[in-house]
Structure 1
Amino acid sequence: MDLTNVSEGWKEKGVGILKVNKFINPIKHYHARLVMRQDGILKLILNVPIVKGVEVFKGMASSLNSDKFIRVQVVEDSKPVQYAFKIGMVENSSKLYNVIESLVKEVN
């Protein structure tokens, strides 16, 4: 969701496996990226660095399965953008939240 134009609502980018790629030799401003490729055709649908200031939220108030959602707010092209990830199992959404939170804290 583009937070500068909330009236447009959420836009689905696709379904795929979300990966947290942590660098062996970290770059100065970030140590990891969130990467997702679309199932089947492997088109890149998400490639976001985890930098200082990235906000991570648990849940989605508008969903009946709120516990399965993780939301990440980042800045892309000078605009705040929020991504919502629906995770298959509640336990895995908690693990993903903790991993992203710890990576945000690692960044200088």
Structure 2
Amino acid sequence: MPEHRIFAMPFAKVYPLYVQKAERKGRTKEEVDQVICWLTGYDKAGLQQQVDAGVDFRTFFAEAPAMHPNTALIQGLVCGVRVEEVEDPLMQKIRWMDKLVDELAKGKTMEKILRA
């Protein structure tokens, strides 16, 4: 089966779309960064370095310091697909990030988004 093309897509191409989506709903870039850093273990400088370097999604997640231990608590639909049922590990990580940004844009509290 051919690899999904999003794996080779630069993270820096999608990141501004995450920020725009959140800002349209009254959230901030800092909140988007907080959610992504929570998921991946990057700090703000590390996240910005990945954006500036133009790494693809595969590299972005491969170089992530540590996926958060509560990722199993991320559940729900993204584009009609249940994130907890995605079989490809890389695609699941991408869907988790999509889901967290969706929750942010929908106005959920940061406490709920970060599974605190």
Alignment TM class, shorter chain as reference:
under 0.3
Taking structure 2 as the reference length, the TM-score comes to: 0.25
Taking structure 1 as the reference length, the TM-score comes to: 0.26
Please identify which structure carries the higher helix content. Answer: 2
Which one scores higher on RCO, CA 8 angstroms, separation ≥ 6?
Answer: 2
